[in-house]
Chains A and B, each alone.
Chain A
């Protein structure tokens, strides 16, 4: 089945700095989803992107889907300590496979 590569694996930032995680696929994706998993918790759905070149915003979070629908990114502006967790991209098809995840830590 389709797979997605996600980078970076870890990101440590100072509070107030920006953060970006990227997902890439060798094949065209029908859609891509993003989830956040807090330490000790379970993944929680953030958003789904479907259209080529789509950009969606949720407060300080900006999600993009590439024109070729082979890559996606999640950008957080001015990180806060509450943003700590692991961010996963996932294929939202019949078999939901997850990227490796990017673990974000934020230093106050």
Chain B
């Protein structure tokens, strides 16, 4: 099946710094990418949806200036957590969906565990 690579798998940063998370589709063109946040033992909360070349659509309550999403190419989307604070600590996971026969299921990255200290 299609592969989505997310990097880094974990990161620890100081409060006030910014962290960039990358999500790459390795063997298909991802027309749509989704970013989620998942708290321990909870569901995946959709943060935003991004289509290549256009601005991301953010879910209600998600600060677009704090969680910057860029989908510059059909194989790469990035999420930047700006001025991170301890309450931003969480598991962030991306998924990608392609076109044609790949326009059904979403393929997930491995996730990034962010700890802000």
Closest Cβ of chain A to B35, distance in Å, is 11
Closest Cβ of chain B to A1, distance in Å, is 8
- Among A11-19, A43-51, A54-62, A64-72, the stretch that binds chain B is A43-51
Q: Which of B44, B106, B110 neighbours the largest number of chain A CB atoms within 10 Å of its CB? A: B44
* Number of chain B residues whose Cβ lies closer than 8 Å to a Cβ of chain A: 22
Q: Which of B36, B42, B43, B106 makes the CB contact (< 8 A) with A45? A: B106
Asked if A42 and B93 make an inter-chain contact with CB atoms under 8 angstroms apart, the answer reads yes
Residues of the B chain whose Cβ atoms lie less than 8 Å from the Cβ of A48: 104-105
Residues of the A chain whose Cβ atoms lie less than 8 Å from the Cβ of B36: 98
Interface of A, helix, strand, loop or mixed by DSSP: loop
Q: Does B46 contact A (CB under 8 A)?
A: yes
Residues of the B chain whose Cβ atoms lie less than 8 Å from the Cβ of A63: none
Asked if B106 and A96 make an inter-chain contact with CB atoms under 8 angstroms apart, the answer reads yes
Residues of the A chain whose Cβ atoms lie less than 8 Å from the Cβ of B42: 100-101
Residues of the B chain whose Cβ atoms lie less than 8 Å from the Cβ of A44: 108
Closest Cβ of chain A to B48, distance in Å, is 9
Q: Does B67 contact A (CB under 8 A)?
A: no
Asked if B44 and A98 make an inter-chain contact with CB atoms under 8 angstroms apart, the answer reads yes
Q: Which of B57, B108, B110, B111 makes the CB contact (< 8 A) with A95? A: B57
- A residues near B (Cβ < 8 Å) are 33, 42-45, 48, 88, 90, 92, 94-101, 103
